[in-house]
Amino acid sequence: MKDPAFLFYSNDFLSGTMLMTNEQIGQYIKLLCLQHQKGHLKEKDMLNICKTYDEEVFSKFIKDENGNYYNQRLEEEVERRKKYSESRRNNRKKRNLKENKKEIYEEDMKNICNSYEKHMETETTTTTENINNNNININKNINNKQKLQKKFIECTGSTNLNAIEECLSYLQELPLEVIEIALEKTSEVNGKWKYAKKILNDWVESKINTIEKVTAEEINFRNKSKPLEETDEEKIKRRTKELEDQINGNK
C-alpha cells in the first residue's frame, strides 16, 4: 500500500525557498508531491508542471543513472518513514505472537494443573516453601550486612570500604551478634579494625561462635587474670615465715 503522506519540515522548506517566487514554490511543491506518488520524474514530467525549464526549480532535484529527476531530501524522508512503519509493524507482529504463545502456555499449564496427582501437589507445595525459605534467607543476609556495616562505622569510626568488606566476610564463619560484640570491645578501648580483626580471628580459631561461648570465654579470661586468694592455712604459713625472717635478721 502506498504511503499517503510524508514528513514536511516547514522551517527547512521556508529557508530553502526564501529566494523563490510564489509561482516557483507552487511548482516545487507539486513536483515533490508527484515524486512521492510516482517516484523519480522524467524530464517531461518536470516540464509538464513548470511549462519551461526553470533553473531555480530544477536545482532542487538531481538526476539518477537513468536521467530521471528526484529530490534527495524527500527520498530520504520517504525511506526513513517506510523503515519506521515496518519496524512498528514487526513489533506488533512480535507482540501478537508473544501474546498467542502466552495464551497457549497458560492453557497448557491449566491442563497440566487439572491433571496433577496428589503427590504432585505435595511436591509443588514443598518447592514453593523452599523458594520462600530461600528468599527469606537472602533478605536476612542483606539485612545482616546492612546492620554490620552500620555497627562497623559506629564502633571504629572508619568508612574504609576494604575494611568494611573484610568485616562483612566474617559473616560466613560467625553470626552477626558475635561480630558485633567484637566491634563493641574494640570501641571500648578506642581501637581500630585491626584490633577487632584479632579478636575475630581468635574466636574463629577457637570456634567461639555463639554469645554463650563468648561469655564463657570472658569469664575464663577474668579468672585467669584474677589473683588467687590465700587460704587461712596459707596465710598462717606466710605470717610464720615473715616472723622467722625478722627474728633471724635481728640476731
Query: Could you report the per-residue pLDDT of 141-186, keeping only the tens digit for each?
Result: 788 888 998 999 999 998 898 999 999 999 999 999 999 999 999 9
75, 104 contact by CB (below 8 A) = no
Q: Can you say how many angstroms the Cα of residue 88 is from the centroid of all Cα atoms in its chain?
A: 29
Asked whether residue 77 is domain-assigned, the answer is yes
Model confidence over 222-245: pLDDT tens digits? 777 655 566 778 778 877 887 777
Same domain, 72 and 163: no
Say how far residue 37 (Cα) sits from the centre of its chain.
Answer: 50
What is residue 4's three-state secondary structure?
coil
Distances (CA, A) of 112 to 105, 196, 232: 10, 57, 86
Beta strand pairing call for 62-63 and 69-70: antiparallel
CB 183 within 8 A of CB 189: no
Residue 80: name the closest of 3, 191, 195, 158 by CA: 3
For residue 42, what pLDDT is reported? 94
DSSP state of 227: P
For residues 192 and 141, give the distance between their C-alpha atoms in angstroms, rounded to a whole number. Answer: 25
**Consecutive H or E run containing 180:** helix 176-188
Flag whether 248 is in a domain.
no
> Same domain, yes or no, for 14 and 103?
yes
Residue 218 and residue 171 share a domain: yes
Residues 1 and 56 in one domain: yes
| Strand spans (E) along 28-146 | 62-63, 69-70
Mean pLDDT confidence for 49-72: 94
Q: Are residues 158 and 106 in the same domain?
A: no
Q: 88 pLDDT band (50/70/90 cuts)?
A: confident
| Residue 123 maps to a domain | no
Backbone φ and ψ of 209, nearest 5°: -120, 20
User: What pTM does this model have?
Assistant: 0.39
User: Considering the chain, what is the average pLDDT of its residues?
Assistant: 82
Among 16-30, 131-145, 193-207, which stretch is predicted with the lowest mean pLDDT?
131-145
- Please report, for residues 199, 230, 232, 238, 245, the alpha-carbon distance to residue 241 in angstroms, rounded to integers and kept in the order given: 44, 15, 14, 5, 6
Domain hosting 95: range is 1-115
**Is residue 106 in a domain?**
yes
Cβ pair 62, 74 in contact under 8 A:
no
User: What size, in residues, is the chain?
Assistant: 251
Residue 73 located in a structural domain? yes
Mean pLDDT of 216-221: 82
Domain match, 101 and 167 both: no
* Lowest-pLDDT range of 39-53, 87-101, 150-164, 210-224: 87-101
The residues that bridge with 69 in the sheet, in sequence order, are 41, 63
**How far, in Å, CA of 140 to CA of 134, rounded?**
10
Give the end of a domain, one of 115, 150, 169.
Answer: 115
Count how many domains the chain has.
2
- Please tell me what DSSP assigns to residue 19: T
